[in-house]
Amino acid sequence: MNEKEREALALQQKELEANQLETREDIDQLDKLSKKIKCQREQLIGESGRFLAFVPC
């Protein structure tokens, strides 16, 4: 393997590591958003139940 090939390989490795880090950060952010939405959904369900208790059928 010559010097250019080693440099190209090292660059590809750095790009891969950067992409993996970005992917992990995206996954963490999606996990946080998912938990937030779940909490908000549970809140909405509870609030709608209380609201419906006051609405005559």
- pLDDT tops 80 at residue 52: no
Q: Cα 28 vs. chain centroid, distance in angstroms?
A: 5
pLDDT in tens, 10-42: 999 999 999 999 999 999 999 999 999 999 999
pLDDT at 57: 63
Residue bearing the bigger pLDDT, 12 or 1: 12
Decide if pLDDT at 46 tops 90.
no
Please provide the distance, in angstroms rounded to a whole number, between the alpha carbons at the two ends of the chain. Answer: 79
Report DSSP letters for 10-56, one per residue.
HHHHHHHHHHHHHHHHHHHHHHHHHHHHHHHHHHHHHHHHHHHHHS-
Q: Supply the pTM of this predicted model.
A: 0.71
Confidence band of 49 (pLDDT split at 50, 70, 90) = confident
Non-local (6+) Cβ contacts of 9 within 8 A are 1
